[in-house]
């Protein structure tokens, strides 16, 4: 049990280091590098990171009276806020909710339907993510 706990903590530390490192790189980068950093943040925090980004963009579209596209948060403070929110939601998702649900599943306290819905949500998020990286040409 101790080895599982320590490996879980190592995975958590690596994930946090990658997420914070990519966020810092994205905040300091210029041009296309900042867009790549945004994509990496959303990839590390799928599916909650995509939901955070679209939620912030949706809220700002009402405030700014204009719709923001993917990667449209160029202001430093908004980018910092969005990255931090995505990392917080991603951490909560991957290291609190998912382990608890796996434990419940092992103890037969929950149905497998939760994992099916979660898997579909991840597939849909990857579809959205790849659709913005590789837009279709008509």
Are residues 110 and 104 in contact, defined by beta-carbon separation less than 8 angstroms?
Answer: yes
The pLDDT of residue 124 is 76
Which helix H or strand E contains 45, and what residues bound it? none
Are residues 90 and 122 in contact, defined by beta-carbon separation less than 8 angstroms?
Answer: no
Averages of pLDDT over each 10 residues, the chain, 138 residues: 72 94 90 84 86 80 56 67 92 90 73 70 72 59
The domain ranges of the chain are 2-133
Pull the structure tokens for residue 26: 């994205």
Torsion angle in degrees (nearest 10) through CA of 8, 117, 79, 67: 180
Distance CA 97, CA 100 (A): 5
Pull the structure tokens for residue 134: 């590789």
The pLDDT of residue 58 is 75
Distance CA 97, CA 21 (A): 23
- Region of 68 please: left (phi>0), alpha (psi -120 to 50) or beta: beta
Q: Give CB contacts under 8 A, 24+ apart, made by 25-33.
A: 26/79, 26/83, 27/76, 27/79, 27/80, 27/83
**Bond prior to 47 in cis (omega within 30° of 0):** yes
Residue linked to tokens 């908004």: 78
């Amino acid at each position: 049990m101790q080895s599982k706990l320590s490996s879980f903590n190592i995975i958590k530390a690596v994930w946090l280091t990658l997420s914070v490192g990519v966020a810092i790189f994205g905040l300091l980068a210029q041009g296309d590098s900042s867009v790549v950093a945004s994509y990496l943040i959303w990839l590390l925090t799928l599916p909650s990171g995509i939901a955070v980004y679209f939620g912030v963009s949706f809220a700002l579209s009402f405030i700014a009276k204009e719709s923001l596209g993917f990667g449209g948060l160029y202001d430093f403070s908004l980018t910092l806020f969005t990255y931090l929110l995505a990392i917080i939601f991603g951490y909560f998702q991957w290291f609190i909710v998912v382990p608890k649900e796996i434990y419940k599943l092992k103890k037969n306290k929950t149905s497998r339907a939760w994992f099916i819905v979660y898997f579909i949500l991840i597939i849909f998020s990857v579809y959205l993510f790849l659709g913005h990286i590789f837009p279709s040409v008509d």
